[in-house]
């Protein structure tokens, strides 16, 4: 140990693992470190660390189960009811979890397996369930997802669903036959994020049809989604719109994406769109299924979309997605980019919009971009050298990490419960300056994150409310975003996307840092 | 047009009839037999069955029943053997508190992966238990087997035995595969696991006036409130099963002379087993509401046949009721004549709530439970006013329908029912395990009344479409609503709800 290092190791005010910032910087200065980031303090580890593929126990998971994601995606389709094929508990737990986040009704039906069903198979339960949902909800679509139980039993879902279609049903004449979309979602393979993407893909694969090619346009009018699906099916297929697979983002972000598209002069079909179904107004009338959502007709028309955009750095590395399906089957031009958080990622989104619409960036958006950069400058010294731990779904983590790197905050730990094996590449591909400074952990849980955080000594946490316990024990702020946020109001309305959404997030982060500084100071200046 | 005078300062909401009509909501034919009306003859409520396929039941599963009962045992390791979801959804969401160890607030899981499903998860479970026990030194471990464990055929019992032998602590399997019955079977499995601990501790020094509290889970410190009352009476509480629970206390709780069963649905099984094995009598009681809380204290005094205890019980009741009564009376003025819907897990809680609402001058118009039995529903039909709907294992659509038909002002339920109430413009009181509000005991009655009053008398209802004060401006809403738009000046200022 050099004398310098010995000094720092003995100095309690130095918290970078006892290393001097300068000496660490030298060690890691492998050419990938942008001089602009020299103020970030590199952290004491080397490459990408991964947890063993099968650690025996998980302590406080940083993921949820696969059908939850599928249910969330199905909630974004107009008049849809998700149905889980398995026993009761899964759907009830998932409902409660979603309800606590969105503070909205989330009806998820279950085929309610009993012991007999587990032995003899769930054919009858499935068919009775589909009948009963048809009767009670008059749905436009039933999204059927499996659970660990039905997957382990090896239920032949396509066959069972096919048989339902073939048989005469004992249903009142008024009940229209809903579209049935099936997705396989075993939780012993993947996380809620995987379930979400699988359901999005299933929706598109099952429903998208080849369409006429025409001009970009067809903006959705206000309240259009409120029309009943049955009405909608009778009207003609909506004009062609850009297909946008937004990833697991908040209702407010979905609304923002729609606004952005309309700024660019194009309509958009969001798959899914729960901006209204999971953030709706008080009911003026009883609603069997909540108003809003992308209609089945819109999904069918996707084959004729002039362009498709898929958001998520990790999703972009996934082999089969809704987007790749549209591209390979219908030759829709596909843009696969990261979640638009931060200037770089938003610029990519703008480029994709430019390509899809042939228009230049509208002035309003250019101004938002300008303000964001301006605020980066205003705040850069507050954030210099700060370290953050980000956790959650892989795409959220990647999006946040890439953004943070722009601001001078080092995401020293990027952790996810997912195991796509793409997270590190996604982060370092989009933000190469993070190489050697950010530790990426897949298959992580909060037990793991806690242990790493104790060494990394972050200044703040960014992620779901599940990190609260850790933030509290470390005495550092938690900037809440992603899923779930169970301890604050307005989780549905947290925005991250676009220059404007990033702006909100950025302000929250800077203010969290300022607040800590203010509260920790003995003097307590009211003028910072 | 005013019919009820609200007390000074409170918003006047009682006169606006709901404009929401439950038109065309169909009850599934297979559900009709599970619904009855108080005051009308008819067959008993059909109950105790697994839920109808395709209905969105508010129930959970066997595992949920076990987890809910055992969770508050604070110094035990609770590990869920299965894929991640079952553990993730039950991680630190409940309001059960501990005065010491916080180990129970973690979610441990074997997080089974595909290969485990194919080759079995026994080895992984064993490794997980050994690691976690070494890391956290718990007093015991509970191993919950979830759905697929029942299918892949892991011998959980054998693993538990070998780990217990290796670590020297009790390692108790809880057979809680979700599909093997209802939540009630989960309670039973939990009771079986706890029962294995009872009788293994030293009972020296236990008072002749001693009890166990069965089925209190120390939500928001409720156990401490109840224990305080008994302490003031001179009655020793040996163990609470399972609120603020400790393994050592459970091990010696067979030394108590009486079991008080509060959550009867979950704990009667254990009480019966303890009676058979250790000769301890039990009494069913409830700690919710003034009447039931007082009755519970008197019941204990009567059981021990001691005038002194009875005197002390009376003193406790007098003191406590005296403290809360003036405020209760004030709130009652505002709440008089309002209607409530109750949908809770167990029937005993429902009985107490019907009575507690009466204390507040409110009428129960709808009452349902997830797990009530035929006898419970008969009791409910008798105790409620004629016209009250009584329902077993309901679902969101039915609940919405009945709430609208009965035009209720308040819904008492859990997180899953909350959005139904709120969307319809109905006040809400959380009476589930997730709540962070102490609702037991006398102070709990005051908190309950505060919650009810805060919600029912909130000015926000002036703006929800249902009450027509404020027209919904969304396309498609009824003309009638539009014409009834009340000017903002028509609202009374509201004083902050205490
Ligand atoms: S069994 Fe599977 S689907 Fe059901 S809650 Fe558990 S992890 Fe989720
Ligand atoms: S998998 Fe089984 S035990 Fe787990 S939540 Fe679902 S029904 Fe309950």
Residue A72 has phi, psi (to 5 degrees) of -60, -45
Q: How far apart are CA A390 and CA B163, in angstroms?
A: 36
Do B190 and B66 lie in one domain? The reply is yes
Q: Is the pLDDT assigned to residue A239 strictly greater than 70? A: no
Q: Tell me, what DSSP letter sits at residue B364?
A: E
Do B111 and B151 lie in one domain? The reply is yes
Strands A58-59 and B108-109, bridge-based pairing? antiparallel
Bond preceding residue A272 cis, omega within 30 of 0? yes
Q: How far apart are CA A110 and CA B178, in angstroms?
A: 13
| C-alpha A191 to ligand 1 mean position (Å) | 11
CATH number where B187 lies: 3.40.50.1980
Would you give the end-to-end CA distance of chain A in angstroms? 39
Do B79 and B174 lie in one domain? The reply is yes
Residues 207-226 of A with CB under 8 A from B: 223, 226
In CATH, A66-337 is 3.40.50.1980: yes
How close does chain A come to B90, measured CA to CA in Å?
8
What's chain A's average pLDDT? 86
- Least Cα distance to B139 among B187, B204, B77 occurs for B77
Q: Given B25, B84, B419, which is nearest A99 (Cβ)?
A: B419
Do B161 and B99 lie in one domain? The reply is yes
Among B88, B104, B120, the strongest candidate for a mutation testing the A interface, having the largest count of A CBs within 10 A, is: B88
Do B189 and B214 lie in one domain? The reply is no
Superfamily of domain covering A364-520: Nitrogenase molybdenum iron protein domain (3.40.50.1980)
Do B191 and B68 lie in one domain? The reply is yes
Is B433 within the bounds of a domain? no
Q: Is A497 helix (H, G, I), strand (E, B) or coil?
A: coil
Is B107 within the bounds of a domain? yes
- CB-CB neighbours of B326 under 10 Å: 8
Is the CB of A77 within 6 Å of ligand 1?
A: no
User: Ligand 1, atom 1: nearest CA belongs to which residue?
Assistant: A148
Q: How far apart are CA B5 and CA B319, in angstroms?
A: 32
Helix axes B347-359, B374-383, angle to 10 degrees: 10
Is B341 within the bounds of a domain? no
Is B482 in CB contact (< 8 Å) with chain A?
no
Tokens at A211, concatenated? 């369409």
Q: Tens digit of pLDDT for each residue in B356-373?
A: 999 999 999 999 998 888
Among A175-179, A427-431, B51-55, the range with the most confident prediction by mean pLDDT is: A427-431
Average pLDDT over residues A147-170: 89
> In a mutational test of the pocket of ligand 1, which residue from A58, A61, A63, A67 has the highest number of ligand atoms less than 8 Å from its CB?
A67
- Ligand showing the shortest atom-to-Cα distance for residue B176: 2
Output the pLDDT for position A40: 41
Output the pLDDT for position B474: 56
Rg of chain B (C-alpha set): 24
Output the pLDDT for position A54: 54
**The dihedral of CA A382, A384, A385, A386: what is its sign?**
positive
Is A147 in CB contact (< 8 Å) with chain B?
yes
Chain mean position to CA A243:
17
Is A527 in CB contact (< 8 Å) with chain B?
no
> In a mutational test of the pocket of ligand 2, which residue from B109, B146, B151 has the highest number of ligand atoms less than 8 Å from its CB?
B146
Q: Residue A14: which pLDDT band, with cuts at 50, 70 and 90? A: very low
pLDDT > 90 in chain A, percent: 77
Do B75 and B191 lie in one domain? The reply is yes
Count of structural domains, chain B: 3
Is B157 within the bounds of a domain? yes
Q: How far apart are CA B210 and CA A367, in angstroms?
A: 73
Average pLDDT over residues A270-286: 93
Do residues B319 and B297 lie in contact, with contact meaning Cβ atoms separated by under 8 Å? no
Long-range contacts, A448-455 (Cβ 8 Å, 24+):
A448/A51, A448/A59, A448/A62, A448/A415, A449/A62, A449/A389, A449/A391, A449/A413, A449/A415, A452/A389, A452/A413, A452/A415, A453/A389, A453/A413, A455/A17, A455/A44
Q: Is the pLDDT assigned to residue A26 strictly greater than 80? A: no
Output the pLDDT for position A397: 98
Burial category of A477 from C-beta neighbours within 10 Å (exposed 0-12, middle 13-18, buried 19 and up): buried
Would you give the end-to-end CA distance of chain B in angstroms? 28
Q: Tens digit of pLDDT for each residue in B180-223?
A: 888 889 999 999 999 999 999 999 999 999 999 999 999 999 99
Do B172 and B269 lie in one domain? The reply is no
Q: How far apart are CA A436 and CA A445, in angstroms?
A: 22
Q: Is A233 helix (H, G, I), strand (E, B) or coil?
A: helix
Is B100 within the bounds of a domain? yes
Q: How many residues does chain A have?
A: 528
Q: How far apart are CA A516 and CA A519, in angstroms?
A: 5
- Least Cα distance to B315 among B221, B237, B240, B230 occurs for B230
Is B458 in CB contact (< 8 Å) with chain A?
no
* Residues framing ligand 2 (Cβ under 6 A): A 87-90, 93, 148-149; B 61, 63, 86, 146-147, 178
Domain ranges of chain A: 66-337, 364-520
Q: How far apart are CA B234 and CA B138, in angstroms?
A: 32
Is the CB of A110 within 6 Å of ligand 1?
A: no
Output the pLDDT for position B14: 40
Do B224 and B159 lie in one domain? The reply is no
Do B154 and B239 lie in one domain? The reply is no
β strands within B82-155, DSSP E: 108-109, 140-145
Is B185 within the bounds of a domain? yes
Output the pLDDT for position B24: 65
Tokens at A521, concatenated? 């100071």
Output the pLDDT for position B51: 81
How close does chain A come to B75, measured CA to CA in Å?
16
Residues of the domain holding B131: 62-195
State ipTM.
0.89
Output the pLDDT for position B18: 53
- Ligand showing the shortest atom-to-Cα distance for residue B177: 2
Is B116 within the bounds of a domain? yes
Is A130 in CB contact (< 8 Å) with chain B?
yes
Q: Tens digit of pLDDT for each residue in B227-256?
A: 999 999 999 999 999 999 999 999 999 999
Q: Is the pLDDT assigned to residue A31 strictly greater than 70? A: no
Q: What is the pLDDT along chain B (498 residues), one digit of tens a residue?
A: 333 333 444 444 343 455 555 556 778 888 888 888 888 877 788 887 778 888 888 888 999 999 999 999 999 999 999 999 999 999 988 889 999 999 999 999 999 999 999 999 999 999 999 999 999 999 999 999 999 998 899 999 999 999 999 999 999 999 999 998 888 899 999 999 999 999 999 999 999 999 999 999 999 999 999 999 999 999 999 999 999 999 999 999 999 999 999 977 789 999 999 999 999 999 999 999 999 999 999 999 999 999 999 999 999 999 999 999 999 999 999 999 999 999 998 888 899 999 999 999 999 999 999 888 888 899 999 999 999 999 998 888 899 999 988 999 999 999 889 999 999 999 999 998 888 899 999 999 999 999 999 999 999 998 998 776 444 555 444 444 433 343 333 333 333 333
Do B191 and B69 lie in one domain? The reply is yes
User: Ligand 1, atom 2: nearest CA belongs to which residue?
Assistant: A148
- Whole-Å CA distances, B103 to B85, B95, B159, B245: 20, 14, 22, 12
Output the pLDDT for position B46: 85
Do B223 and B135 lie in one domain? The reply is no
Q: Residue A221: which pLDDT band, with cuts at 50, 70 and 90? A: very low
């Amino acid at each position: 140990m050099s004398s310098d290092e010995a000094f720092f190791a003995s100095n309690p005010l130095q918290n970078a693992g006892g290393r001097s910032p300068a000496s660490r910087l030298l060690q890691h200065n492998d050419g990938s470190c942008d001089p602009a980031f020299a103020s970030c303090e590199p952290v004491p580890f080397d490459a990408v660390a991964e947890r063993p593929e099968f650690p025996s126990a998980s302590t406080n998971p940083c993921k949820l189960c696969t059908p939850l994601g599928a249910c969330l995606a199905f909630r974004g389709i107009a008049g849809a009811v998700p149905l889980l094929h398995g026993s009761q508990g899964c759907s009830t737990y998932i409902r409660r979890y979603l309800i606590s986040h969105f503070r909205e009704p989330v009806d998820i039906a279950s085929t309610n397996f009993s012991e007999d069903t587990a032995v003899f198979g769930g054919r009858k339960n499935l068919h009775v369930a589909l009948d009963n949902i048809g009767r009670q909800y008059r749905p436009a679509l039933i999204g059927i997802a499996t659970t660990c139980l039905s997957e382990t039993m090896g239920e032949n879902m396509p066959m069972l669903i096919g048989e339902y279609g073939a048989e005469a049903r004992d249903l009142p004449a008024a009940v229209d036959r809903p579209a049935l979309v099936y997705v396989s979602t075993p939780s012993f393979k993947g996380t809620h994020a995987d379930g979400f993407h699988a359901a999005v893909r299933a929706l598109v694969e099952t429903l998208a049809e080849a369409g006429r090619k025409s001009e970009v346009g067809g903006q959705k009018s206000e309240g259009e989604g409120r029309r009943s699906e049955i009405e909608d099916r009778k009207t003609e297929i909506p004009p062609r719109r850009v297909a946008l697979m937004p990833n697991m983002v908040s209702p407010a972000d979905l609304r923002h994406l729609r606004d952005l598209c309309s700024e660019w002069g194009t309509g958009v079909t969001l798959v899914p769109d729960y901006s209204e179904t999971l953030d709706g107004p008080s009911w003026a009338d009883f609603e069997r299924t909540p108003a809003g959502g992308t209609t089945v007709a819109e999904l069918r028309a996707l084959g004729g979309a002039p362009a498709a955009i898929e958001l998520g750095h990790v999703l972009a590395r996934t082999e089969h997605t809704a987007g790749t399906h549209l591209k390979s089957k219908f030759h829709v031009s596909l843009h696969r980019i990261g979640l638009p958080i931060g200037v770089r990622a938003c610029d990519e989104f703008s480029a994709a919009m430019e390509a899809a619409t042939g228009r230049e960036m509208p002035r309003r958006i250019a101004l938002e971009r300008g303000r964001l950069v301006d605020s980066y400058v205003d705040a850069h010294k507050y954030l210099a050298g700060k370290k953050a731990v980000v956790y959650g779904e892989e795409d959220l983590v990647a999006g946040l990490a890439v953004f943070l790197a722009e601001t001078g905050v080092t995401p020293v730990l990027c952790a996810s419960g997912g195991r796509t094996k793409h997270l590190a590449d996604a982060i370092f591909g989009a933000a190469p300056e993070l190489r050697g400074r950010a530790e990426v952990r897949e298959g992580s849980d909060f037990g793991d994150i806690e242990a790493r955080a104790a060494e990394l000594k972050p200044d703040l946490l960014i992620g779901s409310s599940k990190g609260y316990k850790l933030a509290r024990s470390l005495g550092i702020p938690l900037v809440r975003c992603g899923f779930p946020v169970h301890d604050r109001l307005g989780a549905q309305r947290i925005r991250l996307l676009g220059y404007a959404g990033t702006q909100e997030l950025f302000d929250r982060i800077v203010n969290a840092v300022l607040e800590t500084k203010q509260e920790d100071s003995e003097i307590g200046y009211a003028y910072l | 047009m005013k019919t009820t005078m609200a007390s000074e300062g409170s918003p006047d909401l009682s006169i606006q009839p709901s404009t929401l009509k439950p038109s065309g909501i169909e009850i599934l034919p297979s559900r009709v037999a599970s619904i009855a009306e108080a005051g009308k003859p008819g067959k008993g409520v059909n109950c105790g069955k697994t839920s109808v396929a395709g209905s969105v039941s508010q129930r959970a599963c066997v595992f949920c029943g076990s987890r809910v009962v055992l969770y508050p045992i604070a110094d035990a390791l609770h590990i869920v053997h299965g894929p991640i979801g079952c553990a993730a959804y039950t991680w630190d969401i409940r309001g059960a508190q501990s005065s010491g160890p916080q180990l129970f607030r973690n979610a441990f899981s074997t997080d089974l992966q595909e290969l485990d499903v194919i080759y079995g998860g026994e080895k992984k479970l064993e490794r997980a238990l050994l690691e976690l026990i070494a890391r956290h030194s718990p007093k015991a471990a509970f191993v919950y087997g979830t759905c697929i464990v029942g299918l892949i055929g892991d011998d959980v019992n054998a693993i538990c035995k070998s780990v217990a032998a290796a670590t020297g602590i009790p390692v108790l399997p809880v057979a809680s595969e979700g599909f093997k019955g209802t939540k009630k079977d989960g309670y039973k499995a939990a009771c079986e696991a706890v029962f294995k601990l009872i009788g293994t501790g030293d009972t020296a020094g236990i008072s002749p006036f001693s009890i166990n509290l069965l089925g209190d889970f120390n939500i928001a410190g409720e156990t401490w409130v109840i224990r305080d009352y008994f302490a003031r009476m001179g009655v020793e509480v040996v163990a609470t099963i399972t609120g603020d629970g400790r393994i050592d206390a459970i091990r010696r709780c067979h030394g108590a002379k009486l079991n008080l069963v509060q959550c009867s649905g979950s704990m009667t099984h254990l009480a019966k087993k303890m009676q058979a094995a250790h000769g301890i009598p039990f009494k069913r009681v409830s700690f919710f509401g003034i009447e039931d809380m007082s009755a519970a204290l008197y019941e204990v005094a009567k059981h021990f046949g001691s005038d002194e205890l009875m005197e002390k019980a009376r003193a406790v009741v007098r003191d406590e009721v005296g403290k809360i009564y003036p405020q209760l009376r004030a709130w009652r003025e505002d709440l008089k004549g309002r209607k409530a819907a109750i949908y809770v897990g167990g029937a005993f809680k429902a009985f107490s709530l019907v009575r507690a609402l009466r204390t507040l001058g409110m009428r129960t118009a709808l009452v349902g439970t997830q797990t009530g039995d035929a006898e419970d529903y008969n009791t409910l039909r008798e105790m409620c006013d004629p016209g009250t709907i009584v329902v077993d294992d309901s679902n969101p659509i039915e609940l919405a329908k009945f709430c609208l038909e009965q035009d209720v002002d308040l819904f008492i339920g859990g997180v899953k029912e909350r959005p139904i109430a709120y969307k319809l413009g109905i006040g809400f009181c959380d009476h589930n395990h997730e709540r962070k509000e102490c609702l037991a005991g006398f102070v709990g009655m005051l908190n309950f009344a505060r919650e009810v009053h805060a919600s029912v008398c909130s000015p926000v209802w002036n703006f929800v479409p249902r009450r027509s004060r404020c027209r919904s401006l969304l396309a498609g809403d009824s003309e009638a609503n539009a014409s009834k738009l009340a000017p903002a000046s028509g609202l009374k200022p509201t004083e902050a709800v205490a």
